[in-house]
Amino acid sequence: MGWLAFALALAVLAYGWWRVRRDWILPCRELEQLVGALNAERVPRTFLIGGGARVRHIALALEQLALRESALRARVQEGEFGVLAIVGAMADGLVVADRQRRVRLMNRAFREAFAINPQTRDGTLLEMVRDVAVERLLGEALASGETRRGTLTLQRPAGTERHLEVVAEPIKDEPGDVSGAVILFRDMTEMRQTETMRRDFVANVSHELRTPLSILRGYLETLLENPNQPPAELLRILEVMERHSNRLNLLVDDVLSLARLEGPGVTLDLTTVRPAIFLRGIMHDWEKKFASKNLQAEVDVPDDLPALRADEGRLQEVIYNLLDNAVKYSAPGGRIVVRAQRTGKTISLSVADNGVGIPARDLPRIFERFYRADKARHRELGGTGLGLSIVKHIAQLHGGTVEAESEFGRGTTVQVRFPIAATET
């Protein structure tokens, strides 16, 4: 009887152990594996485990939590992707800094502007920008909770400058406390250059107008005070007035031409232009001007050159301006050569002379408006100082380029290139 009771007790204990192992121990191990997978951000093979109802309920609850976490992570990643895409596409540099002035976010434009290593992820704004004024600007925005603006000039290796407008906008949380700031670095270099060019243009036009207008006014006052001038003196006065009147007309025409070329609505009347016929026709029209200074003029144009797709009127303006300069700066008995040739994927038109030439220091700037290498001689010879600038704009409108070669005292060659894609082959 005692042995039977003992055997029965062992059976009960074995059954109880089996139930505990089946319903709790093994399911707890599976739960531990599920939690481990979720902590490691892995998707478990299954959330279906054995065991009692409570254990299975816990596993299903974990599945719901995992699904919610996955959906939340997807939304966060989508938001982050949108923010990074927008910030990364910005042309201006952008930085987000916290209260401790440590950079939490920066875009590609900011990294490029300040040559920051792509691996750099952390650091203060001062460490990255290395400018106390910007650091002070950020400090003022964080302290006051108001927008602060400033400027920053970056020196480039080539000796050029880059001008940036810096805007620090504080970030405020719900209670209104400042938690950080967004700092925007906007490149104002081109705008500064445009503004400088505009001021220079106005100043140069005013200067160019002042001289002939002063002369015209002076002679008009002379005639009004003493209209009975000797015939020879009267003729001289009228000739001077006519010369300066023509100079004014040339200036106005060139300014208007340049304004039209730089305007947003400029269009080209493209036609088929055969270089040989076109250039020989122009040289024929200029024969009298060449003869007036006893200049030798030559045309070197192969008859088999492809026909240009160009605005013939604008193209004529290019050659006229180049020939006008060549005639002005050539000494009597000099030589002018007009060439057209195909080089690689371009067709070039050039005008060369053996005149006074251009000093090397002035050569890079001759296509700027009103720039003159020898101001006194240029004014003596006439002209507005806009011819080469007009040539450059017309070339660019055709998708081409212009360049000049010169040696002081030995002559100048100006060459305009048109891409082969703009021609008929």
91-187: CATH superfamily:
PAS domain (3.30.450.20)
DSSP class of residue 156 equals P
The fourth-level CATH superfamily of domain 267-425 is: Histidine kinase-like ATPase, C-terminal domain (3.30.565.10)
Site of tokens 């009960």: 12
* pLDDT tens-place string over residues 320-378: 889 988 888 888 989 999 999 988 888 889 999 988 888 888 888 888 777 665 554 44
H-run or E-run covering 369 = none
Do 117 and 110 meet the contact criterion of CB atoms below 8 Å apart? Answer: no
Distance CA 294, CA 303 (A): 27
Question: Options 3.40.50.11540, 2.40.128.110, 1.10.287.130, 1.10.10.10; which CATH number does 190-265 get?
Answer: 1.10.287.130
Residues 6+ apart with CB under 8 A from 152: 129, 131, 133, 134, 163, 164, 165, 166, 185
Per-residue pLDDT of the chain (425 residues; tens, 9 = 90+): 566 665 665 655 655 555 545 554 555 666 556 666 655 566 565 554 555 556 566 656 665 666 666 666 656 555 555 455 566 567 788 888 888 888 888 888 888 888 888 777 778 888 888 888 888 988 898 888 888 998 888 877 655 788 888 899 898 877 778 888 888 888 888 888 777 777 766 776 776 677 778 888 888 888 888 888 888 888 888 888 888 787 777 777 777 777 777 766 777 888 888 888 999 998 988 888 889 889 998 999 888 888 888 888 888 888 988 998 888 888 898 999 999 998 888 888 999 998 888 888 888 888 877 766 555 444 555 556 778 888 888 888 888 899 988 888 888 999 999 887 544 44
Residue in the structure block whose two tokens are 């750099």: 120
Asked if residue 185 lies in contact with residue 164, where contact means CB atoms within 8 angstroms, the answer is yes
What Cα–Cα distance (Å) separates residue 51 from each residue in 12, 67, 165?
A: 19, 22, 67
- What tens digit of pLDDT does each residue of 286-330 get? 888 889 889 998 999 888 888 888 888 888 888 988 998 888 888
Rounded to two decimals, the pTM is: 0.55
Helices in 263-386 by DSSP H: which ranges?
275-285, 287-292, 312-328, 375-381
Burial of 160 (0-12, 13-18, 19+ CB in 10 A): exposed
